[in-house]
Amino acid sequence: MPSIYTVTLNPALDKTVQVPNFAVDQVNRITWLRQDAGGKGINVSKVIAKLGGESTAIAVLAGQTGKWISDTLVENNIKVQAISVPGETRTNLKVVDTEGGTNTDINEPGPKVTDTVLDQALADVIAKTSVGDIVVLSGSLPRGAAADTYGRWTRALRDAGLKVYLDADGAALSAGLEQKPYFTKPNDHELSAMLGRELADVDAIAAAASEIVAGGINTVCVSMGGNGAVYATADEVWYAGPVKVQVGSTVGAGDSVVAALAFADAQGFSTEDALRLAMATGAANVMESGTQAAERSVVDSLIEKVQLTRLR
């Protein structure tokens, strides 16, 4: 069975607070707080663990905050491979207004990372992986990293026979896609910006996803927030409807989908079973507070509620 590795080059301690009626230029009082090891790749590893799978979380970690993240992951039976750098891993504040229904992110800058450090980390990943393993590259790039970092990582990992799952945005995503990862998960807004045209409905999104696949990427999953997702390969295109749940926090919902699809891929699931698991996992994690991962029992309770439509 393929092993799964997640790469988080700009992780964070995620501090989630609830502030009813949050307002700028005012004193705001926190009524609830939790802390989680965060960063998109780390979120993927946390979800895979809850699904019953294993992964190795590779992350740039610095200072006491980095140590806290590493210790927390190990306590949750997640293997950690730290890329050690000077400085301090950032803390990101997520303000949830329970009355106004808003989520506001206030993100710190992380430590500066040199291309020399990242090149060595890439070489270490290639040395420790085997052909057919899955490597998830996700999240923002750290300060100091070249804009084409995901492009260089994608090319090197792909050439080593690894399946690259890429989940980023902006220039980092574009650079990565140029090197043809195995899988990518843009949201509908990112895909629209990438192609320079409005994607007004499911049919337009499906056509755009198929366009990306035709360009040499094996699988494209386009998330549409509360409107479900489109999943495309060269052989099939599916629409997966949303599962309506009580929203606790939308942070990490997309990471949950990526985690479930990577887990399903490693397990050899069919497309339909993989999509049902992915949508149920995304919904289950939306029900949670902060970026904690939902229990597998909650995911399983939602699987039958996922509606799939084959578009092609």
Catalytic (active site) residue 255: yes
Distance in Å from the first CA to the final CA of the chain? 29
- Contacts with 215 (C-beta within 8 Å, 6 or more apart), sequence order: 180
* Burial class for 241, CB neighbours closer than 10 Å (0-12, 13-18, 19+): middle
Query: What angle (nearest 5°) sits at the alpha carbon of residue 118, between those of residues 114 and 123?
Result: 150
199: helix, coil or strand?
Answer: coil
Measured CA to CA, the distance from residue 246 to residue 154 in angstroms comes to: 37
CA distances from 282 to 84, 251, 260, 311 (A): 31, 10, 8, 21
- Determine which one of 36, 133, 188, 255 is catalytic: 255
Closest by CA position to 266, among listed 185, 206, 183: 183
Q: Which residues are catalytic?
A: 255
